[in-house]
Amino acid sequence: MKDKTLASILIVDDYSKNLQILADILKSRNYKIAMAKDGFKALKFVNRKKPDLILLDIMMPEMDGFEFCHHLKKNNETKEIPIIFISALCEPDDKIRGFQAGGVDYITKPFHKEEVLARVETHLRLKRSQEDLKAAYQKLQRAYDELEVAARTDSLTGLSNRRDIIERMAYEKVKNERSGKPFSLILTDIDDFKRFNDEHGHDCGDFVLVSVANLMRSKVRKQDSVARWGREEFLLLLPETGLRGAKVVADAIHQTLAEQCYEYRHQTLKISMTFGISSFSELEDPEQCIRMADQAMYRGKKSGKNCIILSENKIPT
């Protein structure tokens, strides 16, 4: 509803004269008018057109105004349409019942033009304000969601960042305490990464980081997490996975790197990585598990790089 002159109003009354009186009043303000003489026809219209506001008689045959209102309010697509009851019933109990049924206002017959217009315009303004607030809230929610994603994402690779992976590890620790199922970490580092920057420039270094990130992302399950842990370091979190299962993942990444070359500005690049693997136990905390993976990776670096090391022993590759 962009403008009050474009607002659509449905009038529901079984008495033709009342329909015409209200239509004439509302047309003086250029509202779009639709009319129905019973609740069933009105329901069909509402399901097709979704008017901005409904003026609803109470005493009608077959389906009275309260029943009609009940049908609208239980439907998610129509429950927000404001309903103003119009009735010759003028006792306080009648009005209270109207509000309890879901009406936003109550106009008694006979109609007074200025009162009808004032009440209609008030509720159309309220509806516009509610729609504007809802749209603003949704916009803010989208912005918040985008900020939250950005706060948990490495901007270069699109992987999780340290904050995100640390929170995920804390969650896996809680799961482990409940179920006893292990989780494993793979800490991996690009061998001789500095030479890519030194020989080909920092854009090449970024290309290598993104290429490696995409490769690792393609080798893990949906429930696994891959994070950029440091400049050229990456951390993989593998829920419900032991050391041997983690080694299968590391083997897949390692094998692909061994078989694949990367082309960067007519230069052929070979990339290798060293992997350290540890598995969480209830006697440790995630920080200890990370240190174990880091120590395993360091042993791999010392022994010649381009290998996979478990936290207990080296596995030749």
Q: How is 233-272 classified by DSSP, letter by letter?
A: EEEEEEET--HHHHHHHHHHHHHHHHH--EEETTEEE---
H helical segments located in 37-192: 39-49, 65-73, 92-101, 113-151, 162-179
**Distance between CA atoms of 305 and 73, rounded to whole angstroms?**
67
Cβ proximity of 185 and 287 under 8 Å = no
Nearest to 160, CA basis, from 225, 101, 207: 225
Nearest to 64, CA basis, from 109, 105, 94: 94
φ, ψ of residue 264 in degrees (nearest 5) = -130, 110
* DSSP 8-state code for residue 4: G
Task: Identify the active-site residue in 148, 172, 232, 259.
Answer: 232
Q: In this structure, are strands 225-228 and 233-239 parallel, antiparallel, or unpaired?
A: antiparallel
Cβ proximity of 107 and 13 under 8 Å = no
Told to judge if 232 belongs to the known catalytic residues of this protein, a careful annotator would answer yes
Cβ proximity of 238 and 277 under 8 Å = no
Which positions are catalytic?
Answer: 232
